């Protein structure tokens, strides 16, 4: 019988007890892994201590989950269920998530160190919005009637793939699940999901809400495990027809290779970024500071658990204002349940060491530390918000994704220079342009090679607007109508209405 874990919260921002099942969720039931006893320790990043452990699945458990998903798809979901009915269940699930938002936010804060209010207003709110948005799409997924000639009619159908794999990261645990699961379910697919082994808590709580909403058993299956076992098994499985992944470029390449070596499954990837924030001298400084505050918060938000990292700011007048923002965030460093906290720890000791390595590299290569540049405190995986000046384009801190609370300020002279520099990267996730010149803003938005451009704005997205990367920042899009393309395939039907052959 799978184990459960109950955590009692007695904090200034949340009080209560929350229980999760730490097993595997397959066919609407909680089960133990086939091979028994392996478990994964879940670490509190604020202390470095074990919170509890969760069951570790294997490829055998993925096989069982796929079988359960296939059964659900063929008998009680997919094309068997009208889109309007799928939408009703998704809307009901949104209501349940909203009712349990505090519990989910508390688990996310405990598990990943993200401040409680940020988890609630960010990740949990995102899931609710996504469920309601795609619930509305569920009965509006149409093909086209195509004119050919008087003797024939033709039309297209947008059909689900069937069993779809989803692999989500630790930086936005439930938010990423919401962005994957909602278009997947709306289009009639079923899921085998692997949450990050670092942050499984909200996925496990979410599973019970799926049951409570009334989804058919097997519609969504959740397998805890490591990337090289469970993730690899999902990527290679011959009965999984499509897969959505958010994470590193290295892992994204492995998934593409697995697709090629298995069954050429459809692959949607949201990968890394190194997104420049370009500030021209005609920008409104007050508005720039406001936007920069939002952009920097997206880096610092629970210690850069976001790959939209706005890491290259420019404009001499801007430096002191930006320093003040970083100082304020540094002063708001602490545990996720402390009032006013805006900056939490790195997710693991490995990530902590990786980010500190980049900071040391910046110092060694000659960049100057404006603020930060060292660990915060003596326990946990906290790093002070760090801003470098005098960085150059050939430095590692400029070229590579750090995925930590580190920014660099670099000067430029011309629009052409900064455009070339912004595009001279393997990434293409996002960019920011700050200018009052409308023509320049449009030119920059057209010329920068990135999937999203924010003009005179911080990284504030919208459920109806697609998000995804150019180049090695990924393929496919999440959010909006565009996300439906990742989870549907087009069938053409030709009907002879003229003389019989």
pLDDT digits (tens, 9 = 90+) for 369-383: 999 999 999 999 999
Residue 123 gets which letter from DSSP?
I
Query: Looking at residues 54-79, what average pLDDT do you find?
Result: 97
Give the pLDDT band of residue 84 (cuts 50, 70, 90).
very high
Residue 151 gets which letter from DSSP?
T
Query: Looking at residues 289-316, what average pLDDT do you find?
Result: 50
Q: What is the pLDDT of residue 218?
A: 98
Backbone angles phi, psi at 214, to 5 degrees: 100, 15
Give the pLDDT band of residue 304 (cuts 50, 70, 90).
very low
Indicate the average pLDDT of the chain: 91
Sequence spans of domains, the chain: 4-271+476-489, 277-462
Query: Looking at residues 122-148, what average pLDDT do you find?
Result: 96
Residues tagged active-site: 270
Going by C-beta distance under 8 Å and a sequence separation of 6 or more, which residues neighbour residue 375? 352, 356, 382, 383, 384
Least confident of 46-50, 301-305, 393-397: 301-305
Q: What is the pLDDT of residue 271?
A: 94
* Rounded-to-integer distance, Cα 11 and Cα 431, Å: 38
Q: What is the pLDDT of residues 224-246, one digit of tens each?
A: 999 999 999 999 999 999 999 99
Judged against a pLDDT cut of 80, whether residue 317 lies above it is answered with: no
Q: What is the pLDDT of residue 306?
A: 32
Judged against a pLDDT cut of 90, whether residue 255 lies above it is answered with: yes
* Helices and strands, number each (H, E), in the chain: 15, 22
Query: Looking at residues 468-476, what average pLDDT do you find?
Result: 95
**293 or 241, greater pLDDT:** 241
What is the SS3 string spanning 279-333? Answer: ECCCCCHHHHHHHHHHHHHHHHECCCCCCCCCCEECCCCHHHHHHHHHHHHHHCE
* Rounded-to-integer distance, Cα 55 and Cα 40, Å: 6
* Rounded-to-integer distance, Cα 30 and Cα 3, Å: 9
Least confident of 285-289, 291-295, 357-361: 291-295
Q: What is the pLDDT of residues 272-281, one digit of tens each?
A: 888 888 888 8
Give the pLDDT band of residue 298 (cuts 50, 70, 90).
low
Assigned fold of 277-462: Aldehyde Dehydrogenase; Chain A, domain 2 (3.40.309)
Give the pLDDT band of residue 360 (cuts 50, 70, 90).
very high
Q: Is 17 helix (H, G, I), strand (E, B) or coil?
A: strand
Q: How many CB atoms lie within 10 A of CB 480?
A: 17
* Rounded-to-integer distance, Cα 122 and Cα 120, Å: 6
Length of the chain (residues): 501
Burial category of 369 from C-beta neighbours within 10 Å (exposed 0-12, middle 13-18, buried 19 and up): middle
Judged against a pLDDT cut of 50, whether residue 303 lies above it is answered with: no
In percent, the amount of the chain with pLDDT more than 70 equals: 94
Least confident of 137-141, 385-389, 471-475: 385-389
Residue 122 gets which letter from DSSP?
I
* Rounded-to-integer distance, Cα 177 and Cα 164, Å: 13
Q: What is the pLDDT of residue 410?
A: 84
Judged against a pLDDT cut of 80, whether residue 500 lies above it is answered with: no
Q: What is the pLDDT of residue 326?
A: 85
* Rounded-to-integer distance, Cα 488 and Cα 343, Å: 39
Which CATH architecture best describes the domain 4-271+476-489? 3-Layer(aba) Sandwich (3.40)
Q: What is the pLDDT of residues 427-459, one digit of tens each?
A: 999 998 989 999 999 999 999 999 999 998 878
Judged against a pLDDT cut of 50, whether residue 195 lies above it is answered with: yes
In percent, the amount of the chain with pLDDT more than 90 equals: 76
* Rounded-to-integer distance, Cα 376 and Cα 330, Å: 9
* Rounded-to-integer distance, Cα 322 and Cα 343, Å: 16
Give the pLDDT band of residue 321 (cuts 50, 70, 90).
confident
* Rounded-to-integer distance, Cα 235 and Cα 267, Å: 9
Least confident of 196-200, 218-222, 289-293, 393-397: 289-293
Q: How many CB atoms lie within 10 A of CB 129?
A: 17
What is the SS3 string spanning 373-393? Answer: CCECCCCCCCECCEEEECCCC
Judged against a pLDDT cut of 80, whether residue 473 lies above it is answered with: yes
Q: Of 106, 107, 120, nearest to 14 (Cα)?
A: 106
Give the pLDDT band of residue 113 (cuts 50, 70, 90).
very high
Q: What is the pLDDT of residue 293?
A: 63
Judged against a pLDDT cut of 80, whether residue 23 lies above it is answered with: yes
* Rounded-to-integer distance, Cα 453 and Cα 69, Å: 38
Q: What is the pLDDT of residues 399-408, one digit of tens each?
A: 888 888 898 8
Q: Of 426, 486, 168, 452, nearest to 310 (Cα)?
A: 452
0.85 exceeded by pTM: yes
Is beta strand 277-279 parallel, antiparallel or unpaired with respect to 430-434? parallel
């Amino acid at each position: 019988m799978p184990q459960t874990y109950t955590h009692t919260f007695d904090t200034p921002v949340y009080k209560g007890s929350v229980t999760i099942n730490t097993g595997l969720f397959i066919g609407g039931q909680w089960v133990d892994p086939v091979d028994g006893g392996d478990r994964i320790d879940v670490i509190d990043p604020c202390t470095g201590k074990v919170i509890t452990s969760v069951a570790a699945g294997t490829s055998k458990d993925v096989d069982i989950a796929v079988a359960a998903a296939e059964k659900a798809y063929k008998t009680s979901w997919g094309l068997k269920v009208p889109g309007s009915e799928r939408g009703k269940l998704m809307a009901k699930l949104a209501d349940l998530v909203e009712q349990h938002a505090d519990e989910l936010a508390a688990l996310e804060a405990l598990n990943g160190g993200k401040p409680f209010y940020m988890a609630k207003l960010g990740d949990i709110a995102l899931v609710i919005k996504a469920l309601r948005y795609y619930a509305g799409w569920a009965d509006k997924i149409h093909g086209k009637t195509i004119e050919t000639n008087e003797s024939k009619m033709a039309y297209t159908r947008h059909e689900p793939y069937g069993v779809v794999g989803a692999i989500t990261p630790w930086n936005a645990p439930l938010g990423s699940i919401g962005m994957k699961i909602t278009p997947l379910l709306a289009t009639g697919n079923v899921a085998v999901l692997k949450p990050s082994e670092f942050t499984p808590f909200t996925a496990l709580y979410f599973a019970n809400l799926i049951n409570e909403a009334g989804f058919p058993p097997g519609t969504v299956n959740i397998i805890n495990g490591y990337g090289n076992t469970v993730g690899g098994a999902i990527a290679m499985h011959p009965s999984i027809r499509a897969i959505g992944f958010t994470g590193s470029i290295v892992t994204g390449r492995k998934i593409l290779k697995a697709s090629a070596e298995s069954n050429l499954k459809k692959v949607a990837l949201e990968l890394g970024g190194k997104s420049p924030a370009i500030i021209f001298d005609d920008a409104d400084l007050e508005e720039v500071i406001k936007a920069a505050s939002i952009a920097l918060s997206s880096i610092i938000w629970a210690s850069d658990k976001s790959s939209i990292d706005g890491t290259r700011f420019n404009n001499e007048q801007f430096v002191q204002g930006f320093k003040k923002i970083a100082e304020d965030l540094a002063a708001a460093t602490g545990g996720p349940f402390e009032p006013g906290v805006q900056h939490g720890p790195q997710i693991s000791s490995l990530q902590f060491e990786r980010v500190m390595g980049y900071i040391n590299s910046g110092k060694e290569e000659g960049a100057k530390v404006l603020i930060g540049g060292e660990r915060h405190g003596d326990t946990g995986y906290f790093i002070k918000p760090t801003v470098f000046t005098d960085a150059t384009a050939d430095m590692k801190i400029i070229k590579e994704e750090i995925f930590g609370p580190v920014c660099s300020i670099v000067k430029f002279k011309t629009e052409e220079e900064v455009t070339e520099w912004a595009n001279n990267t393997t990434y293409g996730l996002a960019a920011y342009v700050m200018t009052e010149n409308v023509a320049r803003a449009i030119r920059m938005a057209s010329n920068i090679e990135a999937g999203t451009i924010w003009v005179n704005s911080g990284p504030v997205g919208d459920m109806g607007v697609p998000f995804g990367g150019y180049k090695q920042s990924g393929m496919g899009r999440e959010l909006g109508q565009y996300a439906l393309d990742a989870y549907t395939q087009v069938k053409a039907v030709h009907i002879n209405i003229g003389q019989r052959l």
